[in-house]
Amino acid sequence: MAAKAGHTNMMTDTIIANLPPEALRSTLRGLLGGNAPLTAKFNSIVSDYLISTKPTPFPELFVVTDAGFRTLPALQEQMIRYRCLMGCGKGVESLCEVLNVVAQLKEFGENLGWEDAGIMEKLADIGGEIAGIDGDVVQAVTAVHKELIVDGETRAMEDVEIDIADKLEGGGVSFERAVQSVETLLKSQRNEQNIDRSSNPRSTGFKSTVSKLEAFKLGDAQVPRIFCGLWQFSSPAWGTATKEKIHADFRKHVDAGLIAYGKNPKLIIDFCCPRLTLSKIWQIIIINERLSAINATEVELLQFHWQDYDDHQYVEAAKLIEANPHVRNLGLCNFDTVHMNEMLDSGMKVVSNQVQCGGFLAEKWFGKSMPGLFDKDMTPSHRKYLEMITIWGGWPLFQELLAVLRALGQKYKVTVSNVAVRWILDHDFVGAVIVGSRMGISEHIEENLKVFSFGLEKDDQELIGQVLERSNAKEVFEAMGDCGAEYR
């Protein structure tokens, strides 16, 4: 069979050669958005390029001078490489490249006489890119987990893949989160799953030590009206932190009564029950994985997301979840109105649907010019939110909204974000708001709790409404396909 090669005409090639990097990235996002086949092809081409351009021999990443330990430019290049491999779904390849970085770092640490237990502290003192290596290994292991799933079942790791993970597990470098992730991966492959769920009593519900913390009923569970979203741990784009810092911030959140979490069961169980050894049992609806991840006999709320509505098995899959005796309540995540109604019309009892609010509703953006999609402080979520703001009404109208929220914040001595969250909570159909939480990186516990210190008056609501009435709400639905489409 003859090889096939795509041809790019000269004029298109001229555009690619001359467009600034930010413009090229923005254009590429536009091409890939909502186009799953094209995205898969893009990932394939990128991964082939990265694998074919793997540097040989592996470059020197660190150097010791009279001034001490320093990183070389090649480190940043390697981090870019393995993070791109993660994004392409090449978990084993990315883990292998991260391992090369860890091995070289370990060698330098030994030469400098660092105690193994103090390496993370040394890295924190030095700062820079290497502080994120621990989190990178965790992300690489997550990519490996996904790569091992074939047709809803987990395939066995090949010997070469196990060898790669074994090297890190016994590597001696005290990247605790990384090593624990690798250990979990290897033990699941060795069928070392010894969790006795019968000895783990289910939660009796939310009990706040903070009297002013509002709560509501979610199915048969009593939960606080602020959830802590942990999606920001899914990528180093939001920053990284050591296990100790993450656990310290978890304790502060729990002590404040913020005990409802989502998205990252590995972090939760590591904080709550660090001595337990967990495994993963992947099934089509992966209920057992969630139970293992939180070491429980039941999950109070299992949120169900479905990526492709053209695959009509979502109703059947949701019914299987609802019927499972270990699931107390079924919730939806990023379902649009049409498909949510389809679920309800099928007779299922759905207690919630998680949808997006926005990430620019903060004081720091007031009075600022519109940022570029790939400015330094822009995270992947910011790029999604900015695109929605453009459709919603544009940056000037958004600035008017921020001005109103800021004025109300000054009135009640709270932040712009507090006012926005309060406005959302005041809707009868809203049970709780999820606020992004970056344990060990940034902390806003006291600020978030101020949401429960005031209420918006009718005049306040009208001021906000006057701005919203001038927005393109209808156009947003038409362009985005209703809530949740921005994640498809």
Q: How far is CA 314 from CA 287, 307, 332, 335, 338, in A?
A: 15, 9, 11, 11, 13
Evaluate if residue 181 carries a pLDDT over 80: no
Per the listing, tokens 């920053």 go with 239
For residues 225 and 38, give the distance between their C-alpha atoms in angstroms, rounded to a whole number: 39
The answer to whether residues 45 and 28 touch, using CB atoms and an 8 Å cutoff, is: no
CATH of the domain spanning 215-372+379-487: 3.20.20.100
pLDDT for the residue 414? 96
Q: For the residues 188-216, what does the mean pLDDT come to?
A: 50
> What pLDDT sits at residue 92?
86
Cα–Cα distance measured from residue 133 to residue 320, given in angstroms and rounded to the nearest whole number: 39
pTM over 0.85: no
For residues 7-21, average pLDDT: 87
Among the listed ranges 193-197, 376-380, 387-391, which one has the minimum average pLDDT value?
193-197
Please list the residue range(s) of the chain that carry CATH number 3.20.20.100: 215-372+379-487
Of 24-33, 184-193, 397-406, minimum mean pLDDT range: 184-193
Phi, psi dihedrals of residue 318, rounded to the nearest 5° = -65, -35
Instruction: For residue 441, give Cα distances in angstroms to 235, 238, 346, 352.
Output: 13, 9, 43, 30
Lowest mean pLDDT among 238-242, 385-389, 406-410: 238-242
Beta-carbon contacts of 186 under 8 Å, excluding residues fewer than 6 positions away, are 162, 165, 166, 169
Give residue-wise pLDDT tens across range 278-296: 233 334 346 766 676 667 8
| Strongest mean pLDDT among 79-88, 111-120, 199-208, 270-279 | 79-88
Give pLDDT, residue 84: 94
How far is residue 365's CA from residue 398's CA, in Å, rounded to a whole number?
A: 10
Mean pLDDT for 375-385 is 83
Q: What is the mean pLDDT of the chain?
A: 75
Task: Evaluate whether 293 touches 184 at the Cβ level (below 8 Å).
Answer: no
In whole angstroms, give the CA distance from residue 90 to residue 363: 39
Distance from CA of residue 355 to its chain's centroid? 15
Which residues make Cβ contacts (< 8 Å) with residue 339, sequence separation at least 6? 306, 309, 314
Q: Rounded distance, CA 106 to CA 103, Å?
A: 5
pLDDT for 77:
92
In order of 83, 402, 418, the CA distances from 362 in angstroms are: 29, 8, 9
- CA 59 – CA 75 distance, rounded (Å): 8
pLDDT tens for 245-282 read: 665 565 565 556 565 655 444 444 444 444 333 233 33
What DSSP string describes 309-374? TTSTTHHHHHHHHHH-TTBS-EEEES--HHHHHHHHHTT--EEEEE----S--SGGGTTPPPPPTT
Tell me: the pLDDT tens digits for 137-148?
878 877 887 777
Find the mean pLDDT for residues 393-402: 97
441-468 pLDDT, tens per residue?
456 688 888 999 999 999 999 999 999 9
How high is the pLDDT of residue 371? 93
* Predicted confidence band of residue 96 (pLDDT cuts 50, 70, 90): confident
Q: What is the pLDDT of residues 43-65, one digit of tens each?
A: 999 999 999 999 989 999 988 77
